[in-house]
Amino acid sequence: EAQVTQNPRYLITVTGKKLTVTCSQNMNHEYMSWYRQDPGLGLRQIYYSMNVEVTDKGDVPEGYKVSRKEKRNFPLILESPSPNQTSLYFCASSLSGFGYTFGSGTRLTVV
Amino acid sequence: KNEVEQSPQNLTAQEGEFITINCSYSVGISALHWLQQHPGGGIVSLFMLSSGKKKHGRLIATINIQEKHSSLHITASHPRDSAVYICAVSRANYGQNFVFGPGTRLSVLP
């Protein structure tokens, strides 16, 4: 089945403890991106990648890192999470930008 | 002023009604996307438009590049259409850099 898989689905962590949210797609898509969704602020793009080893900042990249070492994976790294990074995170992928397939989301709570 | 605006913010309709959701934007774009977010949180991409009109089943999306406006129409609405509909634009000359509208919450009553 063609899909974008995010893990974990839910995560509660403490301030400052490094974490990685994984994202993997099995559709050979070039484009991948990360978003966060917050009440009253909607969806906002964190980072995107248009090819292997190519990443670009979205509107809210502060406090996040990404890497694209291989086509299928695009992990989101929080080196030192803070409570303001508590959010619902989505990964998505696309073949040339014609329509995106979204992962199921990761609900992150930082205490 | 937000770069992408939607109206209405909330919409309640009776089953069978024709529904229109509007999106206006203030930046140069390379494409406009309509997304559907289900009550459970999952997001589905409905349309990508750079010009004209697209139709898929009961859904129709149009875009007017000169007026910087897009509409999403739902014909013969059904309770399963209840969701949040989100307009997103990819900024021109910025690859796949997206900015999103605030969403329109649609409830279709049986």
What is d(CA B75, CA B86) in angstroms, rounded to the nearest whole number?
Answer: 18
What is d(CA B36, CA B43) in angstroms, rounded to the nearest whole number?
Answer: 6
pLDDT higher for A40 or B94?
A40
Average pLDDT over residues A14-36: 97
Looking at residue A108, its pLDDT comes to 98
Kindly state the DSSP code that residue B39 receives in the 8-state scheme.
Answer: T
Looking at residue B41, its pLDDT comes to 87
Question: Which residues of chain B make contact with A90, given a CB cutoff of 8 A?
Answer: 43
In the numeric block, which tokens belong to residue A5? 């898989």
Looking at residue A2, its pLDDT comes to 84
Question: Which residues of chain A make contact with B45, given a CB cutoff of 8 A?
Answer: 99-102
Residues contacting residue A42 through CB under 8 Å, at least 6 positions apart = B86, B100, B101, B102, B103
Looking at residue A96, its pLDDT comes to 81
Average pLDDT over residues A37-54: 95
Average pLDDT over residues A87-108: 94
CB contact under 8 A, A56 and B41: no
Looking at residue B38, its pLDDT comes to 93
Query: Between B48, B90, B102, which is nearest A42 by CB?
Result: B102
In the numeric block, which tokens belong to residue B58? 């009961």
Looking at residue A1, its pLDDT comes to 85
Query: Between A43, A56, A98, which is nearest B97 by CB?
Result: A56
| Interface contacts A/B by beta carbons within 8 Å | 56
Question: Which residues of chain B make contact with A66, given a CB cutoff of 8 A?
Answer: none
State whether residue B85 sits within 8 Å of chain A by CB: no
CB contact under 8 A, A97 and B90: yes
Question: Which parts of chain B have pLDDT scores under 50?
Answer: none
What is the per-residue burial (b if ≥16 Cβ within 10 Å, else e) of B70-107? bbbbbeebeeebbbbbbbbbbbeebbbbbbbbbbbbbe
Nearest CA in chain B to A102: B43
Looking at residue B94, its pLDDT comes to 78
Share of chain A above pLDDT 90, in %: 95
